[in-house]
Amino acid sequence: MHKIFSNMYSKILIFFILLSCLGQMAQAQQEVQFSQYVFNGLAVNPAYAGYRGDTHLGASFRKQWTSLPGAPQTGAVSIDGAPSWANDETVGLGAQVLWDKQGPQEYLSFTGSYAYRIRLDEEGVSRLCLGIGASLSQYAVKGDMISVLDENDPNVPVGKVSTFQPDASFGVYYYNPHFYAGVSVMQLFTRELNNRIIIAGVDKEFLTIRKTKHMYFTAGGLLNLSGDVKLKPSIMIKDDFNGPTSLDFNLFALLSEKLWIGGSYRTAVNIWDHNNLKSGLTKTNAASAMIEYFATDRLRIGYAYDVMTNRLSGYQGGSHEISIGFLIPNRKMKERIISPRYF
């Protein structure tokens, strides 16, 4: 019995150490990120909406740090496309519902995206897209899930405390059949979100979360090695202007137009000095292995497995992520370019 309690205590302690390290390193990088964003750019850039032309339905679920209790769990459902009433696919529309839970904290958001897609060539395979997004988010803390020594502690909320906040995003996205690049700013409204609650007859202000804007830069290309093998290298730079910059390197191979296989490596770099960061912090290095399979021309199924590569890697148990995507033609089938499948 003592051994079981000790193991459970150790896991809980390690979980909070992980959260503490991530909080110190990122300071406020709260934007939820899926490993398989490389197959659905709508998650990081509203200008991606409508990129495939036809309507795309997608869903993802991620379970992080599987060995630790209360570890993050994240899910998302999205839809985007270029509506048939828009002349020459010049308009892209998208929507996403996302939820995230870690310990007593919960996050739920709805985001709508609009993209204006400027044709740069006669065929329409090269475009410059300008996108905006509007969102409404709920941030919540469940006080009854927090173990405290003093049940009357005024710093711990009673029951569930939540707040709703609107936000906005902006992005630019360029693509052609062999290359893409995009830049976006998410969570444009930087601020602290506060709730006022009544505890023991006293009006208290309870800080739920501090929000900061996030900048993303993405770029990638397509290399045709042979008729059956193509390579897609890409990078993503993510910065919240407070903590270290997150840098992703990705490399995938497409086999026989059916199977994507590859992986990514994520690390933190200090592009400029941050006076608020402590020295000697452990980097959140992580490696991912991914596979995406086209069961049909319209149905895509994906899986990713992530592991941290720093000294905490032996305790967190890895992360699992699954995704599914389905393409619905907006009009009668005709000869179409195949580049939307690649990016």
Write down the pLDDT at residue 13: 39
Write down the pLDDT at residue 338: 44
Structure tokens that stand for 139 in this block: 């941030």
Write down the pLDDT at residue 284: 67
Write down the pLDDT at residue 327: 93
pTM of the model: 0.81
Adjacent-strand bridge partners of 217: 183, 237
Write down the pLDDT at residue 191: 65
Write down the pLDDT at residue 2: 44
Write down the pLDDT at residue 30: 54
Q: For residues 222 and 88, what is the distance between their CA atoms, to the nearest angstrom?
A: 25
- Segments in the chain below pLDDT 70: 1-31, 67, 143-159, 190-210, 272-284, 311-316, 331-341
Write down the pLDDT at residue 269: 82
Structure tokens that stand for 249 in this block: 């390197």
Q: For residues 179 and 222, what is the distance between their CA atoms, to the nearest angstrom?
A: 6
Q: What are phi and psi of 306, to 5 degrees?
A: -115, 145
Q: Where are the beta strands (DSSP E) in the chain?
A: 55-63, 73-81, 91-102, 105-119, 127-142, 160-176, 179-186, 191-199, 202-211, 214-221, 223-224, 229-239, 245-255, 259-269, 286-294, 299-308, 319-328
Contact 65, 72 (CB under 8 A): yes
Q: How far is CA 167 from the centre of its chain?
A: 16
Q: For residues 317 and 8, what is the distance between their CA atoms, to the nearest angstrom?
A: 14
Contact 326, 63 (CB under 8 A): no
Q: What is the set of domains in the chain, with CATH numbers?
A: 2-342 (2.40.160.40)
